[in-house]
Amino acid sequence: KSQECVGQGAGNIASALIGGMGGCAMIGQSVINVTSGGRGRLSTFVAGSFLLFLIVVLNDLVRIIPMAALVAVMIMVSIGTFSWRSILDLRRHPLP
């Protein structure tokens, strides 16, 4: 896991040096991958390969999906992956 963090950091730094914006879209995907039962590197490889396939091969089909539908999917994924119990922790550990 630490190698992934180092790689992500190096990628963000390299992106910043050429004027890009750093970030990581894979964190949410990793959470979904683990909660769906993926535990090894193969599951990560398959998920990444599927995304690449969607972007490269099926980009014309993805383009016709309404933006509102994509936003709705993102909201549902956020609701499903959010740790709702962490809200209770805010009462026990309030911010300074």
Residue 96 lies in a domain: no
Helices H, strands E: what count in the chain?
Answer: 6, 0
Q: What is the pLDDT along the chain (96 residues), one digit of tens a residue?
A: 567 778 878 888 998 899 887 776 666 666 677 777 877 778 878 888 888 898 899 989 988 999 999 899 889 878 887 888 888 887 787 776
What domain count does the chain have? 1
Residue 95 lies in a domain: no
Residue 93 lies in a domain: no
Residue 38 lies in a domain: yes
pLDDT at 94: 73
Residue 92 lies in a domain: no
pLDDT at 26: 63
The residue among 33, 59, 34, 35 whose CA lies nearest residue 47 is 33
Residue 47 lies in a domain: yes
Enclosing domain of residue 81: 2-87
pLDDT at 79: 85
The residue among 27, 23, 4 whose CA lies nearest residue 14 is 23
